[in-house]
């Protein structure tokens, strides 16, 4: 195929396909790979009459009742990062090359994970409006990193520092695998004897107002059995925690600095819980039910059945030593 240079920043490639001549225009000298992408994604000059940003905003609107508040906020943030060229382009005119160029530019100032999330959102919107348009974008690789998981010594030191504070109960619950959003949504009504029912979370909506919503996934709706000492603490206080998720995080960071403990997020306490229970020989199926990890439908049923016995749950949480 001959690449024709038409001007300083204009190149053209012509290709006959099924007895039709297709013309592919580029604003730079294309590589063979880019030409092949253009050929694979050729179209019959279909114009939809609405731009990518129109489609993205509409996608969020129609999904607003089924997506979590944090997901919606994230999507709105990604829309603001669309380049002008892509945002205002008719969705029917978008090609694989347009997407690859967008991702190449975005990756210069964002991490591989953020870049992949950005691409995932764009591809999701395109899949809704152009289901036959299959993207084959080259994405940056995510390099695995070793996150610090707290030790038993770390946990014990922070546990002692938390005694008598508003964060004693939240910290103990976090060590049992609860997310901070789940902790902040709990009330005494969720405690039945020693059984704590987890079925909601405190999150920010699209207007950054704190609201109580149901848990994000079916597997997150679960119950755990608490030690008598934790139940006594809760009943003595008369509540679990009257605050916001970021307050727990700030307290944890402050306490880690005071105790000269390597920083780890509250979420790492879920990892600690998993590691601790695994080391004690608790089956994976039970651990996943404890922390509410998402999995496929069949496995969810298995998890629910495996944790039906509350006596078994109590024995499992005793292994945490909290």
In this prediction, residue 24 carries a pLDDT of 80
CATH architecture of 152-318: Orthogonal Bundle (1.10)
Name residue, tokens 């997310």: 179
CA angle 49, 55, 58 (to 5 degrees): 125
Beta sheet of 191-192, edge-to-edge order: 191-192, 195-198, 222-225
Instruction: Identify the segments of the chain with pLDDT beneath 50.
Output: 45, 296-308, 310
Beta strand segments in the chain, E: 3-7, 10-17, 20-26, 191-192, 195-198, 200-204, 210-214, 222-225
- The Cα–Cα gap between 241 and 223 comes to 18
Q: Where are the domains of the chain?
A: 1-42, 47-139, 152-318
Q: What is the per-residue pLDDT across 1-52, written as a single tens digit (0 to 9) for each?
A: 788 888 777 888 888 877 777 778 888 888 988 888 888 776 554 556 789 9
Which sign does the torsion angle of CA 48, 50, 52, 54 carry? negative
47-139 and 152-318, same CATH topology: no
Q: Which residues contact 56 (CB under 8 A, 6 or more apart)?
A: 75, 79, 82, 121, 122, 125
In this prediction, residue 299 carries a pLDDT of 35
In this prediction, residue 232 carries a pLDDT of 95
The tokens for 316 are: 């499992």
Domain 47-139 indexed as CATH 1.10.150.130: yes
Helix H or strand E segment including 182: helix 180-185
């Amino acid at each position: 195929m001959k690449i024709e240079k038409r001007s300083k920043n204009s190149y053209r490639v012509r290709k006959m396909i099924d007895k039709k001549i297709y013309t592919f225009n580029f604003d730079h000298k294309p590589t063979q790979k880019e030409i092949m992408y253009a050929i694979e994604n050729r179209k019959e000059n279909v114009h939809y009459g609405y731009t990518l940003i129109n489609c993205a905003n509409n996608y969020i609107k129609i999904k607003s009742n089924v997506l979590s508040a944090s997901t919606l906020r994230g999507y709105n943030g990604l829309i603001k990062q669309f380049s002008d060229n892509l945002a205002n382009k008719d969705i029917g005119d978008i090609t694989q090359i347009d997407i690859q160029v967008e991702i190449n530019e975005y990756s210069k100032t964002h991490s591989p994970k953020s870049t992949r999330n950005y691409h995932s959102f764009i591809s999701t919107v395109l899949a809704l409006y152009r289901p036959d348009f299959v993207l084959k974008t080259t994405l940056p690789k995510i390099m695995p990193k070793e996150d610090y998981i707290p030790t038993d010594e770390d946990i014990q030191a922070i546990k002692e520092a938390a005694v008598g504070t508003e964060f004693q109960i939240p910290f103990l619950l976090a060590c049992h695998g609860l997310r901070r959003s789940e902790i902040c949504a709990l009330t005494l009504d969720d405690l039945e004897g020693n059984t704590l029912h987890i079925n909601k979370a405190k999150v920010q909506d699209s207007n950054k107002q704190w609201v109580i919503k149901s848990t994000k996934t079916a597997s997150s709706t679960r119950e755990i059995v608490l030690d008598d000492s934790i139940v006594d603490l809760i009943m003595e206080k008369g509540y679990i925690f009257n605050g916001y998720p970021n307050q727990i995080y700030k307290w944890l960071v402050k306490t880690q600095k005071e105790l000269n403990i390597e920083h780890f997020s509250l979420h790492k306490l879920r990892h600690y819980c998993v590691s601790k229970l695994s080391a004690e020989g608790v089956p994976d199926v039970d651990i996943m039910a404890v922390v509410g990890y998402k999995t496929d439908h069949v496995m969810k049923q298995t998890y629910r059945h495996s944790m039906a016995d509350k006596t078994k749950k109590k024995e499992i949480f005793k292994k945490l030593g909290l």
